[in-house]
Amino acid sequence: MFSNWLFVRLRAAENALNEGRIDEAFAALREPDLRGHRRSQRLLDGLAASLLARARVHAHAAHWDEAVADLNRIHDIARGSPEVEELRRQVSDEMITRRARGAAHDQAIARAADHLRAGRLESGRAAIDQVDDARRREELRDELDIRMRRSDELLDRAEAALSDGDVLTAARIWHDARTRHGSTPRGDLFAGRISPRLRDELDANFREGRLERLLAGLHLASALREADPAMAEYERLGALLSRVAGDLSRSDYGLLREGLLQISARRSSARWVEETLRYVADVIAAREKLLASPIGLLTGRSAHDQTQAHAQRRESPRKPQNAPIPSPVANAESSALVLIDGTGSALLVRRDTLRIGRAGGGSEVDAPIPADLMSHHADIVRAGEDYFLVAYGPTLVNQREVRRALLRDGDRLTFGSRAARATFHKPSSKSESAVLRLADRCRLPQDVSSIVLFKDTCTVGPQPSCHIQTREGDSRVLIVQSGGGLHARRLSADNKPMDRSEPLLAGTPLMVGDQRITMNQYDWRDASPRA
């Protein structure tokens, strides 16, 4: 009876094979009791031939997985042959080649999309031509055409403004076209045309004393620096003008005179500079006479003593005992502007949340970035020793779009358009403070290029492990929050405290080693410094 059942199954497998039901025949003949029977050998040879023929058909149609499956079935019934192995090698090589082509295809699409997002439109056009997928290529070309069309619309407006003689408006519209839609050959040509006109405009504003208008155009000078390296000189001029304005607001006439002399040396003499220098000389002379008068003698300070005290104040961080004491930067919720000679400006934010948004967007933010962002675009939140990014608008971390992310040292952040870039650093494991270093185009008012997310301590110096890196001097300085105020002291090469700590008082320069540090109040609600 068992033998009869075996023959029935063999006959069923034979019928399936003869009728082309290959999978059914394979399922029957792979059973051990049938495969080992002497009468099944002829059927197995026929099955192997059918599977090999079908595998060739699959390979010809580029159905690689199906071809490999049939070759594996031949192996399962122990009917391997040189022909089988040769076909397996061909299929394997073709699969590897196709996989490499697919990876190259994906890379070409990613490269083209990345160029478009970065605003490199001409590079994007060349990359799009390398995309094999016709549908995806057309989609990318449509996106490119939209960007080019919108850029051209803005550049038409810029051309009209330039024809009307409104150079600042023309430069501002060109900057909008570049930051929103990217770099185009037409935009690059326009930058070359407008740069000399903008320099003439800035020079005229300087000569005629229209300094607010001059400072308003400086971010445009920064944007044109790539096309015209001479624009860097206007940025330095703006920094000097901001510094002397601060000296005047603090009634520090000695430093004011030095700053004006530096401006006069950098630029061809302007009438208002010469007049201001005379006014400053008159104020200093009148002050000397006042201190030398009988009423001045009652203060216990002669004019000579006052002059010596001024010199000591610049050379030493210690304050004369009888000098008025400025207010410290004491509010633990306030932000502070840190000015370091030869380095530039940094913003010290002492709250646990840094609010980031568009400059002039109307929201109360700590970092008003001059870019196409939401008015409140993102927050960086400190939680213990960790920092988290919380995004409300389009935001990338290391080229990956995120809504919330744990930040690590060296993370590259992009807010909104790719012009708004910054790098997050946590330079020292000994301090919970972190720093956000802004790209040149994203600098805040008062030439702020970095934001220190301050927690108890931070360091200043030329070393990479410092939160505020200086370009001049060798001293390393520790800034500490104590009693609601900020204090500074020098550190040795092995990070041991040296000297005694000195308070950082608003608007008063402090020499710590060879670093000259000035701390000003900074109102984060309108991003304007206050001494």
Residue type, 332: A
Query: What is the structure's pLDDT at 531?
Result: 35
Res 145 pLDDT > 50: yes
Q: Which helix (H) or strand (E) holds 253?
A: helix 253-266
Res 337 pLDDT > 50: yes
Q: Which helix (H) or strand (E) holds 335?
A: strand 335-340
Res 504 pLDDT > 80: yes
With vertex at residue 62, the alpha carbon angle to CA 58 and CA 63, rounded to the nearest 5 degrees, is: 55
Query: What is the structure's pLDDT at 96?
Result: 79
- The answer to whether the CB of 433 falls within 8 A of the CB of 457 is yes
Classify 421 in phi/psi space as left (phi over 0), alpha (psi -120 to 50) or beta: beta
Residue type, 207: R
CA 324 to chain CA centroid, Å, is 42
| 262 Cβ contact list (under 8 Å, min separation 6) | 240
Res 20 pLDDT > 90: no
CA 156 to chain CA centroid, Å, is 30
Average pLDDT rounded to a whole number, residues 204-223: 84
Tell me whether strands 457-461 and 468-469 are parallel, antiparallel or unpaired: parallel
| Domains of the chain listed by start with CATH number | 2-80 (no CATH), 250-315 (no CATH), 335-530 (2.60.200.20)
Q: Please, is 173 exposed, middle or buried when counting C-beta atoms within 10 Å of its C-beta (0-12, 13-18, 19+)?
A: buried
More confident residue, 451 or 292: 451
pLDDT band at 317 (very low <50, low <70, confident <90, very high): very low
Nearest-CA neighbor of 171 among 215, 214, 217? 217
Query: What is the structure's pLDDT at 273?
Result: 85
Q: Residue 86 is encoded by which pair of tokens?
A: 């040769």
* Percent of the chain whose predicted confidence (pLDDT) is above 70: 83
pLDDT band at 303 (very low <50, low <70, confident <90, very high): very low
Place of tokens 């990345």: 114
Measure the N-to-C terminal CA separation of the chain; round to a whole number of Å. Answer: 108
Quick one: CA dihedral 292, 298, 304, 310, positive or negative? negative
Res 322 pLDDT > 50: no
pLDDT band at 282 (very low <50, low <70, confident <90, very high): confident
- The answer to whether the CB of 25 falls within 8 A of the CB of 16 is yes
Average pLDDT rounded to a whole number, residues 180-191: 82
Classify 484 in phi/psi space as left (phi over 0), alpha (psi -120 to 50) or beta: left
Classify 456 in phi/psi space as left (phi over 0), alpha (psi -120 to 50) or beta: left
Across the chain, mean pLDDT equals: 80
Res 146 pLDDT > 60: yes
pLDDT band at 105 (very low <50, low <70, confident <90, very high): low
User: pTM for this structure?
Assistant: 0.41
Res 53 pLDDT > 70: yes
Average pLDDT rounded to a whole number, residues 412-433: 89
Number of residues that this document lists for the chain: 531
Average pLDDT rounded to a whole number, residues 193-197: 90
pLDDT band at 115 (very low <50, low <70, confident <90, very high): low
Average pLDDT rounded to a whole number, residues 294-321: 48
* Least reliable range by pLDDT among 3-12, 43-52, 152-161, 453-462: 3-12
More confident residue, 480 or 284: 480
Bridge partners, 344 (sequence order): 340
- The answer to whether the CB of 128 falls within 8 A of the CB of 112 is yes
State which of 302-306, 515-519, 521-525 shows the largest mean pLDDT. 515-519
Q: What is the pLDDT of residues 431-473, one digit of tens each?
A: 999 999 998 888 888 888 899 999 999 999 998 889 999 888 8
More confident residue, 452 or 527: 452
pLDDT band at 324 (very low <50, low <70, confident <90, very high): very low
Q: What is the DSSP code string of 2-37?
A: HHHHHHHHHHHHHHHHHTT-HHHHHHHHTSHHHHTS
With vertex at residue 531, the alpha carbon angle to CA 439 and CA 421, rounded to the nearest 5 degrees, is: 10
More confident residue, 132 or 322: 132
